[in-house]
Amino acid sequence: MLHINTSPVERAQALFEAPFALISHGTESEPIFNYGNRKTLELWELSWKEFTKMPSRRAAEELVHEERDRLLAEAATKGFSYFSGVRITSTGKRFEIQDGILWNLLDKHNHLCGQAAVFSKCMFLT
């Protein structure tokens, strides 16, 4: 558990080692992942360097791109969205995310600077 006097480095390390997946992308026209904790990197079977060069759209199969786009738009409008859905690893394995939360990331001036998601329930599909 993190305490109020925990340093920024300790908080960052705790989030990176957390038992849930934490992921974010920027606001580019084709958003690129800019953060994935250890659980995320393991799920997508990628190194940090590979993951932070990957367009976030590639995390989902083409069949669900329309639903993914709807989800991102809903979060952009409301500030957050709940989601479930199938994603795909870098090696083509499919897994289903359940009970995820997606939210907007804002800078200190309250400008949109990306979106992040967190989930702890997922299972690989056969």
- Give the residue extent of every domain in the chain: 8-110
3-state secondary structure the chain: CCCCCCCHHHHHHHHHCCCCEEEEECCCCCCEEEEECHHHHHHHCCCHHHHCCCEHHHHCCHHHHHHHHHHHHHHHHHCEEEEEEEEECCCCCEEEEEEEEEEEEECCCCCEEEEEEEECEEEECC
Q: Which CATH class is domain 8-110?
A: alpha beta
Summarize pLDDT for 94-124 with one digit per residue, the tens: 999 999 999 999 999 999 999 999 999 999 9
pTM: 0.88
Summarize pLDDT for 57-94 with one digit per residue, the tens: 999 887 777 888 888 888 888 989 999 989 999 999 99
